[in-house]
Amino acid sequence: MKKQHAFALSALAAVLIAGCASSPSTADLDKLTADIVKASFSDKGIVKVAVIAPEEINIACSAAEVAGKPLNADVAEALQAAQLKTIKWPTDGNYMGDWKAGEKLAQSGRGLTWTDAADTPNGGNCYNCHQMDPKEISFGTIGPSLTGYAKTRGVIADPTSPASKAIIEYTWGKIWNAKAYSACSVMPRAGHKGIMTEAQVKDLMALLLDPKSPVNQ
């Protein structure tokens, strides 16, 4: 590990020295970042270095943020279209699972650490960004409140209408891969990244859409 850190520091020093003569290019900085990541991280347990590999969509969103400008609309649309193709819809056509299981998932933030066993169920960590149960007094506000999710969208009143069908499909897609609908979304791509299984996504769907769920009380 010491050798890896020494390599990373020497690479940084080289760029800084070169920078005294001229400013490092974006390509130089990108290469430096890749070298430091390669030198500083390694696979450990179930956590693989591949999870931090750069993706086109993340690179584009980061560049826009650094520039202090919104992502170009045409670029965003193209990136979202590509992400939309990654969504895997329910294999049996059924979108709903058990809302009680979904509530446990939504309130759990565990999983995906190197000390976890490969078969450790991951939590959804939904509570960290959203309010779900109207009775909750502590919740995250990074994302919108989800209280009354199905009730306020008319899904409970008429679950078979075209509008309700669209909401149901959107909800599944948003949980599976949020970047399909908002390129620079910070919401975890639960299905796409393998954080949630199909069965778990169904349970989260039930939490949001089942009329008996506390979300809709």
Question: How far lies 131's CA from each of 101, 135, 149, 179, in Å?
Answer: 17, 9, 11, 21
Domain ranges of the chain: 2-72, 99-216
CA 128 – CA 108 distance, rounded (Å): 9
- Average pLDDT per consecutive 10 residues, the chain (217 residues; last block may be shorter): 52 54 72 80 83 87 94 97 98 97 94 86 93 93 96 95 97 98 96 95 98 97
Residue 1's pLDDT is what? 47
* CATH architecture for segment(s) 99-216: Orthogonal Bundle (1.10)
Residue 124's pLDDT is what? 94
